[in-house]
Amino acid sequence: MLESAFICGVLSAGADCLTAGVIPTPAVSALTVLKGCGAGVVVSASHNPGEYNGLKVFDSEGYKLSEGAERELEYEMAAMQEFIGGKPGRVYRYDSAQEDYVGHILSFCGFDLSGKEILLDCAYGAMYEVAPEVFRRLGAQIVTAACKSCGELINAGCGAANTVKARDLSRRLYGKAAVFCYDGDGDRVIAFQNGEAFDGDRLLYILALHLKKSGRLIKNTVVGTLMSNCGLEKSLAKEGITLLRADVGDRNVLELMRREGLTLGGEQSGHIVLSEYARTGDGLLTSVIVMGICQKEKADLRTLAAGCEYYPQILLSVPNSDPQAAVRDGRLIEKAEFFDKELGDSGRINIRASGTEPKVRIMVEGADEGEIRALAENLAEIVRKY
């Protein structure tokens, strides 16, 4: 319904439209540039259930629109009294979109993964065909889970946002096989090996050391977010690498990367931006590049990430009908400031309204897991009572 409505609007404005079917968000970013289109649009709820579907918009260069540009567009649309179109555009099926994206990813892969066993959790989403195809062509032995297109099941108990089953499979059934979990639209990835999780922070560490070693880490600097673990920051510093922090959101990460002219950035949630290859987070690209590093270094994920410290971190998502108002509540702010002083230099607190769901996100980080869990629950209770 959303796709049809949007296409009608595009055609009525006199523009043509290519419809690519079910492909990942990063594929739309890449193919918008490769096909010379004026914009790219994805109907997606990202890592959320289907009822949160909306539009992700890329400009002609494959970059997400800034928040300022989105606000301006929304203001203009709200102010419209009528729309008068000229000659209508035409719609074309882009049947080769998947194959073009697969070829795009493979063009960065000068290695062979023959003999490697890999489990792919595709979250019943947009990676269901392209991810297995890419790894098969690289020679890997593929096992799949949640690997079909199903809007009703997308992200439900699977994928990058729901990794309990993948962790269990990694530990019990597939031994040393690498496991990659994508989210519904494919711009995130979380990895596992032997039941051990490698989230965006640890993948960022692996990629940063590799790029520095090969002389491709611009300014020896990486962009993370306010949620990036303090252990990552300290571990990178030991390697002579600086971590800059952006606001939460891969768009904010990319904006800071572009402003500073940097090569690498990412979020703990699994959004990784490799600006040498892509203009948005790409879970498939990230997993392929990481496996290429494993192959080159003859090492597994645990070995490559061994130097990355990790502080205990409690993350809670608390449902609230007005999260923006809840995070401005005086009682919550006062309590958070008090707890922050108690933690001192050994920890930190971050509270924010979710940008994608009616929830408040609470993060507490520190050396004592029991202490930070109690603090997080205390803050969550205030949000629940708001």
Residues annotated as catalytic (active site), given as ranges: 46
What's the number of CA atoms in the CB half-sphere (13 Å) around residue 306?
Answer: 5
Calculate the dihedral angle through the C-alpha atoms of 161, 196, 24, 100, rounding to the nearest 10 degrees.
180
Q: Name residue, tokens 């990895």.
A: 191
**265 contacts 201 by C-beta, under 8 angstroms:** no
**339 contacts 384 by C-beta, under 8 angstroms:** no
CA dist., res. 295 & res. 315, Å (int): 33
Identify which of 12, 13, 54, 62 has the alpha carbon closest to the alpha carbon of residue 37: 62
Give the tokens for residue 331: 């009682």
Identify which of 187, 36, 27 has the alpha carbon closest to the alpha carbon of residue 100: 27
**146 contacts 119 by C-beta, under 8 angstroms:** no
**32 contacts 16 by C-beta, under 8 angstroms:** no
Report how far apart, in Å, the C-alpha atoms of 252 and of each of 145, 229, 281 are: 31, 17, 12
